[in-house]
Structure 1
């Protein structure tokens, strides 16, 4: 009975000891097969070669053309003639001859001040001058007849001249009691009233006259552009509120730099336009650098590295890295000073995915 129980136990132990041995053999067999497959793959790859990775890109032909760099600043429209007329002497207003909005001409009488005292002085000076005139004529008639002395004639002549000058001075003084238009234009502001006492140059005591037919744009340009922005530069002016624009030239560029703002003033005369008014905002684009023929590339095509700037060009289906020297940039275009020539096939899109020597496929070519 003991012998029958023992034998199956031995058989069971033998079966358990053989099982791991079969798995090891199976693993070794698989590893051998894997090695043989890898060798076959390597052999086939060596025979047919590794397939090239081709990147799809866009290409544009390099051409020469004009390039302009602009300085963009904000300015405002001002009248060429924008003045405030004041009285020369203090006085009381007796007459006002104009109204706000009315057009006046240079020298026109606008306001009269009380000059009654001066008029009395004029009347006295006129009477004295008339008397001196009569005495002079009589003395001259006598002198012509060789009657009297030369001294008497000269005294009469001198007295007449002095009285005439006194009369002229009195009349000139009377003119100071008036406010006249120094320029032709429209009355833009006036707060004067009859009976009001006015003082020369005091705020609220004058009449502002604006000649809106002659306008200009005024702006301040940063000091950094002092070497490139000057009188005669082309400028594009945009007036947003008037929905208007024009191209003209810088009329005036100041030589001195303002020590506070570190800028210098520029002015541009504007043609007569009814839709433009003083103090309107104007956007100025001043051309500070221009070339009639140069090479430019899109900003996105230009790459940067520690060694400098570069681009990729299409060299018979292969990306060729080309070092360039970049200049000014404006409007999404960068001027290329050296490194490219007309006719080169510049890669414009897909430059981030390629390296020097990569094979490429041209998806689109821009003229």
Structure 2
């Protein structure tokens, strides 16, 4: 029966080829070749279908049927993570551009780039000569005021003199003390101090330059407290939550880190339609602010599920199918299985419709038909 089928099909192919070649002109050879290839593909498909039907009705007669070689993988339940992937950048919690608090000419810069500084350390000095002279003058007046106050107090304790004289001396002394205190505060504002401990990353100010309040002077960075900032599509706004596990891949370091989401923004950017996410990074001496990182936030994990390579899932008649291995008599055949995809991540698909122990065809699945004889 099989021989008769092949003979008839071969006659059809040869007749078609001869008819096409005899009627074609040299300019039509390419078109004829394309047509013949299509006919050959269709005939090959018909042969495979007939072989499959023969295998179903009479397994013993399929000994001579040519089996297609395939590779298979036995399925076993495994953990599978659902995540969203995006790109972000490393930032420091303490990345501060220190500015001046008062106006004046810079008279000294005490630090250089790369230098370690402590909290409260003076980084630069603004001209304070006028304030210093005023402080010295007020101190001299305060010494006199204190002396007068002490004498008036002694006299008043002995009931000598008037209360007004005592109160005037006291008021004058306290007024001068407050003026000196105010001048000392102004003098402190001429010193540009580091608000944190860290490393000097940039020195903007120079000696001799005029500086005003708010103008940047020195950048100080503390790299022991870093985070990754990224933007995530609003499609995941209900799935990403504070505390979600995340993995961070820093390409420059060729290192994968695990952390947790520490902040999820509540506002959607109207232009990018994204919301911000922050992940606190583990301590690492090689991390630097503004490094690029690939962030994967895991928002759901299946502890035990069936997973297959996504490329073996085929679309057929608006259905998702894979081929598994079955035994039919003495032959091994491919059996079509309709599956439902629950999620696709890392080129793997979580599917329903397959069971643990099923052997899925992972190589040679292209062009397979339901019931076709295969060889593993």
Distance in 2, Cα, partners of 1:144 & 1:316: 118
Distance in 2, Cα, partners of 1:340 & 1:321: 11
Greater mean alpha carbon deviation, residues 51-60 or residues 272-281? 51-60
Distance in 1, Cα, partners of 2:119 & 2:249: 32
Distance in 2, Cα, partners of 1:110 & 1:56: 75
Answer whether contact 1:125 1:170 (CA < 8 A) is retained. no
Greater mean alpha carbon deviation, residues 285-294 or residues 121-130? 121-130
Count, aligned residues: 313
Answer whether contact 2:259 2:282 (CA < 8 A) is retained. no
1:156-192 C-alpha deviation (Å, 9 max, x unpaired) = 5444433322221111011111211121122221143
Question: What residue in structure 2 maps to residue 230 of structure 1?
Answer: 241
Q: Does 1:247 align with 2:247?
A: no
Question: What residue in structure 1 maps to residue 80 of structure 2?
Answer: 67
Answer whether contact 1:250 1:266 (CA < 8 A) is retained. yes
> Which one of the candidate residues 165, 175, 183 is aligned to 1:162?
175
Q: TM-score, normalised by structure 2?
A: 0.73
Q: Does 1:345 align with 2:359?
A: yes
Question: What residue in structure 2 maps to residue 193 of structure 1?
Answer: 206
Q: Does 1:322 align with 2:333?
A: no
Question: What residue in structure 1 maps to residue 277 of structure 2?
Answer: 266
SS in 2 for 1:250: strand
Q: TM-score, normalised by structure 1?
A: 0.75
Question: What residue in structure 1 maps to residue 320 of structure 2?
Answer: 309
Distance in 1, Cα, partners of 2:173 & 2:271: 59
Q: Does 1:88 align with 2:101?
A: yes
**Whose Rg is larger?**
1
Answer whether contact 2:342 2:349 (CA < 8 A) is retained. yes
Distance in 2, Cα, partners of 1:129 & 1:311: 95
Answer whether contact 1:57 1:360 (CA < 8 A) is retained. no
Deviation of the 1:362 alpha carbon: 5.1
SS in 1 for 2:92: strand
Q: 1:251 to 1:145 in 2, by over 3 A?
A: same
Distance in 1, Cα, partners of 2:58 & 2:275: 68
SS in 2 for 1:210: strand
Correspondence 1:1-367 to 2 at 5 A: 51-52=61-62, 53=65, 55-147=68-160, 153-154=166-167, 156-202=169-215, 205-317=216-328, 318-336=333-351, 338-356=352-370, 358=371, 360-361=373-374, 363=376
1:339-366 C-alpha deviation (Å, 9 max, x unpaired) = 233233334344444444x154451xxx
Greater mean alpha carbon deviation, residues 74-83 or residues 301-310? 301-310
Distance in 1, Cα, partners of 2:98 & 2:163: 50
Q: 1:160 to 1:287 in 2, by over 3 A?
A: same
Deviation of the 1:333 alpha carbon: 1.4
Q: CA RMSD in A?
A: 2.8
Deviation of the 1:109 alpha carbon: 1.0
Q: Which consecutive unaligned segments of at least 5 residues does structure 2 have? A: 1-53
1:306-346 C-alpha deviation (Å, 9 max, x unpaired) = 5532333334335443333211111221112x323323333
